[in-house]
Amino acid sequence: MQTGFADGMPIADSTISKLGLAREQLMEAVEQRATACNGRAIRTALTTLRYADARAESGGESVARAVMIETGFAPDWLQYELTDPFDSAKPIRTDFAWERQAQELTLGELDGLIKYTDQTMLAGRTTAEALVAERQREAHLSLYGHPLLRFTMNEVRPAGMLAKKLQTAGIRQTALPTWLNEVDL
C-alpha cells in the first residue's frame, strides 16, 4: 500500500511523537530499508518525514498542514501559544499561525466535531458547555487583534478550497515546493 504526502503526515507526526524519535532517526531507518522498495515511495516517505512535527495534536491537523505545505501556505508555527488575557497562568494555543508582517499574525484553527461529541473529550461537560467554552476562548483570543481563520476537514480536501481560504485571509503564498512532482500526493 502506498500512502501519499498528506495521508502519510499523520502517521509521521504520530510516530515521532509517540516513539519519541527524532525525525532524522526515522528518516535514517527508512533509508536503510529502502533498497527493495519503489524509489518514488521512498522519496514520498522521506519528504513526509522531513516535514513531520510531533507537536501536531490530531491527524486532522497533520493532514491540513500537509495540504498547506503542498499549496505553498505552510504555517509559521504549530500550536502557537498566547497567554489568556484574563488569567496569565493559562495558555491559549491555536493550531496554526502565520506571520503576515512583523508582529501581524493570522491564527488558524481546524474545527472538528469530535470535541463536541466524544464523551472523553467532553470530560463530563455537555455539548452546549463545550460550545460556550470554545466561544469564550475565541473571545479571549480576539482581544489580541489577530484574525482567526477557522476551517473544517471538508475545506481541507480538496486542497484548492483551503488554499483559497488562506489566500483570502491574506496569508502569503510561497513558491510551491520543488519536490511536488517527485512524490505521491
Q: Is residue 124 part of a domain?
A: yes
CB 77 within 8 A of CB 96: yes
* Structural domain contains residue 87: yes
Would 3 be classed as within a structural domain?
no
Is residue 35 over pLDDT 70? no
- Record the pTM: 0.86
* Count of structural domains, the chain: 1
Whether residue 64 contacts residue 151, with contact meaning beta carbons closer than 8 Å, is answered with: yes
Is 155 a domain residue? yes
Of the candidates 94, 39, 47, the one whose C-alpha atom is nearest the C-alpha of residue 66 is 47
Q: What is the dihedral of CA 36, 70, 109, 107, to 10 degrees?
A: 130
In this structure, what C-alpha cell is assigned to residue 176?
510551491
pLDDT digits (tens, 9 = 90+) for 102-145: 778 999 999 988 888 889 989 999 999 999 999 999 999 999 99
Domain range enclosing 113: 77-168
- Does residue 100 sit within a domain? yes
Within a domain: 149: yes
